[in-house]
Amino acid sequence: MKHLSFILWLSVLFIGCSPSSETRPKDIIEINVPLHQEDNIIKLSTIIDSIDYVPLATDNEYLIGNVDKLIVTDDSFYIIDKDISFSIYCFNKKGKFIRKTGNRGASDKEYVSITDVNIYNEKIYIWDGSSRKLLIYKSNGDFIRSISSDYAAESIAILNDSQVAFYGDYKHNYKFEDKGRYPNLLTLDLDNRKIDTDLFYEESLSTSGITRLPNNISNNKYLIMPLNDTIYQILPSEVERKYVINYRHEFKKAQENYIKRLKTEKVTVDDAMAMAGESAQFPIFNVFFEGNNFSYFFYQMGYHIYFGFYYPQSQIYVEASANKKNPIENDIDGLARFLPYAVHKDFLYCVMEPSAILEHAEWIPASQKAKVNKLKSEDNPIIVAMKMKKQ
């Protein structure tokens, strides 16, 4: 049976913090986020133009166990299944299987685990955190090279053909300790192996009270950390503060108090999860994606879910919110559940299990029936492409 990462995205609460890098104030986009406590359900038709369903081809040779990460390019879907099939599958935009990249094993050309994957300039980069090894492949699946390292990281961003950024996620990389501080971000030059460090945190920080997000880096350049109100843009030459999120005063104060607690006492994972439940006093920033003319935000405060949409041309911010349910109501076809896994250009991409569609076959739009008429419950997931409206 296949399982999507729905629980990770909607139910698990994550904690994290880090000091800010500096940049010129004129470069920063400030967004005031209301985070209303009452439900504010938004109809899907107010933000989405159209919905298209793309069933992914199914075969035992490329059976998807879990969609841990979805990467969308101009002509392909890359499905990263980290823990069940341990595979990276490529499908075209019509759902036809193209290839699998890499294999699990112990050789220089193989990975033991898939910690993160990114794509840049027709190359696929696989970060194996268990072996601390970066593997690079051509887009056709041919192996190029592997690079061993001596540092721990959870996410990667490919800045150019010779620079890779690694997000450490509060892991003590002792080699780069500086006066009782450790870097959360390391940038490696693949040509000369020079390493630059940034976003330091104090050694005294209670990291047991900090757990990780599904994907800290989005669009191959933006970095978020759940207790930090800044969205960083990782560039080849520096790290810039791109967005600053302004919460209401009481939320910001509660967040600051928790950060102080992390610095002064031992906070366990259980303590952190308890504080993020019904009695949560501040939001956790879980997901950020940027499209051509919009940005998407996902926050969680206790069991209250917030989806935010920022439109830079009009500088409008729209917030949907609901307690213990999805704050977006699908009034277009009633079928697709709004829960984005990726953004590419003008589209948000969600993932659905076949069973969720088969249970409501009467809702399948006539224009989509030919695509799903042979769908079986054990088949691979369906990619749902939602085209955003301009505001």
CB within 8 A of 316, min separation 6: which ones? 310, 391
Q: What does the pLDDT average to over 92-116? A: 97
Q: Which amino acid type is present at position 129?
A: G
CB of 83 closer than 8 Å to CB of 65? yes
Q: Which amino acid type is present at position 124?
A: I
Q: What does the pLDDT average to over 81-88? A: 97
Ordered DSSP codes for 280-334: --S-EEEEEEE-SS-EEEEEEETTEEEEEEEETTTTEEEEEEEESS-SEE--SSS
Domain holding 237, by residue range, is 3-388
Residue 146: is its pLDDT beyond 50?
yes
CA atoms of 391 and 378, how far apart (whole Å): 39
The per-residue pLDDT of the chain, averaged, comes to 91
CB of 62 closer than 8 Å to CB of 84? no
CB within 8 A of 71, min separation 6: which ones? 77, 78, 80, 117, 118, 119, 342
Residue 73: is its pLDDT beyond 90?
yes
- Structural domain count, the chain: 1
What count of other Cβ atoms lies within 10 Å of the Cβ of residue 354? 20
pLDDT band at residue 7 using 50, 70 and 90 as cut-offs: very low
Residue 279: is its pLDDT beyond 90?
no
Residue 20: is its pLDDT beyond 60?
no
CA atoms of 21 and 241, how far apart (whole Å): 7
CB of 102 closer than 8 Å to CB of 123? no
The CATH number covering residue 354 comes to 2.120.10.30
CB of 167 closer than 8 Å to CB of 158? no
**pTM exceeds 0.75:** yes
**Residues 234-246: tens digit of each pLDDT:** 999 999 999 999 9
**Residues 300-345: tens digit of each pLDDT:** 999 999 999 999 999 999 999 999 999 999 999 999 999 999 999 9
